[in-house]
Amino acid sequence: MLFDMDGTIVDSDAVVARTWLRWSRLRGVDHAHVMRVTPGRPARETIPELAPWLSPDEQAADAAALLDLERADVDGVVATHGAHDLLRALDEWGVPWAVVTSSDRPLALVRLAAAGIAPPPVLVTISEVERAKPHPEGYLSAAGQLGVDPATTLVVEDAPAGVLAGRSAGSLVAGLRGVPGADFDVPDLPALHALLSPANGKLSVRVPS
């Protein structure tokens, strides 16, 4: 089972909004537009799209500064509803799972710690891939490290870029809170948990009709 991090197992919405609000004010970019463009994607890719008038060096500096701000701010960062219960169940069932995130590794570790989630053995961040979501590289890498066929994995996502990445990897994708493009939708992790059952170290998923 492959999880996105922010908005999926970690609720970091408040700090993400605060950080991007500071940047949007600094650069004169509409904050609402920023929050439509950035979910599920790294700043190194979205800033050039949002502020093409900046030089490449300025864009890179802004992306680095954003990461520094996010690493230093864990106020309000918690596990999403049902995350601990679902991850505990997967461990008890012997079902391997991984996290695939557009955060870099230091930020991912900071947020997982703030949420009380131990880093899984397979954690794929933007630090380890060349191509970010919506490219499937992250999910393909995670499946490979787990030793499973991507087509046999369930991806859990809350952002369009991540959904596309999971679908492109050949995985079944569960979308949270109505994110478009997923194979099926659930309102939250407890609802997803209710659709899962163990079968000899594998998962059976009852896909809603």
Alpha-carbon separation of residue 41 from 20, 90, 103 (angstroms) = 13, 27, 8
The letter for the amino acid at 9 is I
Annotated active-site residue in 6, 11, 104, 158 = 6
Neighbours of 118 (CB within 10 A): 9
Active-site choice (4, 11, 62, 104):
4
Cα gap 156→165, rounded to integer Å: 11
Q: Is 62 helix (H, G, I), strand (E, B) or coil?
A: helix
How far, in Å, CA of 118 to CA of 160, rounded? 26
Q: Is 6 annotated as catalytic?
A: yes
Q: Is 91 a catalytic residue?
A: no
Strand bridging mode 10-11 / 78-79? antiparallel
Catalytic (active-site) positions: 4, 6
